Structure 1
Amino acid sequence: MSKVIVITGAGVGLGRAIAKLFAGGGDQVVLLGRTFSKVENAAAEIGDAAMALQCDVGDPESVNQAFAAIAERHGKVDVLINNAAVFEPFLLQNATDQQIFSALNTNVAGPMFCIRAAIPLMSGGAHIINITSESVEVELPHLSVYQATKAGVERLTKSLHLELESSGIRATYVRAGAMYEEGKTWEANPEDQMAFGKAAMERGFNLRERPITQFDSVTQLIQTLVNLPADLHTVGVHLHARRPV
């Protein structure tokens, strides 16, 4: 039976790749993104199986409006994939209020708002998947705020697993490593990028030489989680990029 898959941050990168995979398998996908033109273009590439909605996950009213539209069109949510995130390297001592609030609102409050809105549309067998980051444990520099937000989402997922267990709704976090897609650019201040690269090298991380995973490879794991038998579950999955042999 066709599932309704809701994906945040679905205009580019991993979110778009996930949407394409599930739509290709016969599911209905809902693409949420702060920039409507990006999710609109991604949905147009997919076709009739895709629904594009403008949604700033860090804004509860925007989230409520998006899920009201999902309820009107589909009446249910089978899978929610919280993929939207702000990744911006900086030192906390130099951070602006906006940088801190942007990371907290999008990376932590965003999944909370979306989960809260999705649960009333979910039933037994539904699945919440939260995308986190290898940087929760990998000691990369200039990422204290980002690392804290992703660690918070992992703790949230573990608590949700228990909170929702009686309803039959599963919750899983996927800790992903560095990923790459042809044509995707890193939207960050060039000076911050250079400072991040220099600090990483000083800490022993050569970012140019670290292995990188293709987005399409990670989508296969997401599909496996969604298709787990009813008597199986995992709260957390840790992925690491590796160089093919």
Structure 2
Amino acid sequence: MSKIIAITGAGVGLGRALARRFASEGETVVLLGRTASKVAAAAAEIGERASGIGCDVGNPESVRAAFTQIAERHAHIDVLINNAAIFEPFQVVNATDEQILGTITTNLAGPMLCARSAIPLMSAGGLIINVSSESVGLPFPHLSVYQSSKAGLERFSESLRAELEDSGIRVTNVRAGQMFEEGKEWNVNRDDAIAFHQAALKAGLNLGERPISSFESVTDIFRALLDLPADLQAAAINLHARKA
């Protein structure tokens, strides 16, 4: 039976790749993204098994409205993938209010708000996947706010897993490494990007030499999580790119 899968941050990148993969395999996907036109275009490109809904995951009212729309179209949700995130390197001393609050709100509060709205639409066998980052465990510079948001997300995953144990809804944290897709550009201030690369090199991380995986390869892990037998649970998955 087709699963109903809601994916945040699905207009581009990993979220869109997951939506494409699952729809091609017969699942029904709901693409959520801050820019309604972008998720609508992605859903149209994927086909009849996809729909797009504008949703700013950091805005409680936007999240409520989006999941109300989902409930009007579908009787339930089988899977929620909290993928939306802001990744922007900067030093705290130079950070704007928007950089700090935007990162924390989208990366940490967003999954909490989406989970709160999705759980009433889920039942035993449901699955929530929170997408974290390998940077939590590595000495990346200029990412203190991003790393903190993702470390908080991992702690949230652990607590939510215990909270939902009796309901039969599983929660998995996926710590992902560097990924890419053809044509995707990194929308970061050039000076900040240069400073990030230089500071990373000083910390022993040569970004130019570190391996990068494709979004399509990473979708294999998510497919495996969706197909886990009912008597198994994957609490946490750590993914790192490697040279093929």
Q: TM-score, normalised by structure 1?
A: 0.99
SS of match in other structure, 2:129? strand
Q: Deviations over 1:10-52 (max 9, x none)?
A: 0001000000111011111000000112111110111110010
Alpha-carbon separation, structure 2, partners of 1:104 and 1:140: 17
Asked if 1:91 is matched to 2:99, the reply is no
CA distance in 2, matches of 1:42, 1:98: 27
Unpaired runs of 5+ residues, structure 1, are: none
Q: Distance in 2 between matches of 1:40 and 1:150?
A: 28
> After the TM superposition, which residues 218-229 of structure 1 pair with which residues of structure 2 at under 5 Å, given as runs?
218-229=218-229
Report the aligned-residue RMSD. Answer: 0.6
2:204 and 2:173 mapped to 1: Cα distance? Answer: 28
2:4 pairs with 1:4:
yes
What secondary structure is seen at the aligned counterpart in 1 of 2:77? coil
Secondary structure in structure 1 of the residue aligned to 2:29: strand
2:25 aligned partner: 25
* Paired AA for residue 98 in structure 1: E
| SS state at 1:205 partner | coil
Kindly report structure 1 stretches of 4+ aligned residues shifted beyond 3 Å.
Answer: none
Per the alignment, residue 78 of structure 1 pairs with 78
CA distance in 1, matches of 2:109, 2:161: 18
Shift of 1:79: 0.1
Letter in 1 for 2:2: S
Task: Give the Cα separation in 2 of the matches to 1:98 and 1:12.
Answer: 22
> Which sections of structure 2, spanning at least 5 residues, go unmatched?
none
Q: Secondary structure at the match of 2:57?
A: coil
Which residue of the partner structure matches residue 129 of structure 1?
129
The total of aligned residue pairs comes to 244
Q: Is 1:57 the equivalent of 2:61? A: no
Q: Describe the SS at the equivalent of 1:100.
A: helix
Q: Could you tell me how far apart the structure 2 residues matched to 1:167 and 1:190 are?
A: 47
Moved more, 34-43 or 125-134: 34-43
* CA distance, structure 2, for counterparts of residue 130 and residue 185 of structure 1: 24
**1:203-234 deviation digits (Å, cap 9, x = unpaired):** 11111110000000110100100110000001
Identity %: 61
Q: What do residues 48-75 of structure 1 show as CA deviations (whole Å, max 9, x unaligned)?
A: 1001000000000000000000000012
Distance 1:236 1:151 in 2: 13
Q: Could you tell me how far apart the structure 1 residues matched to 2:35 and 2:197 are?
A: 28
Q: Which amino acid aligns with 1:151?
A: A
Q: How does 1:200-239 map to 2 (within 5 A)?
A: 200-239=200-239
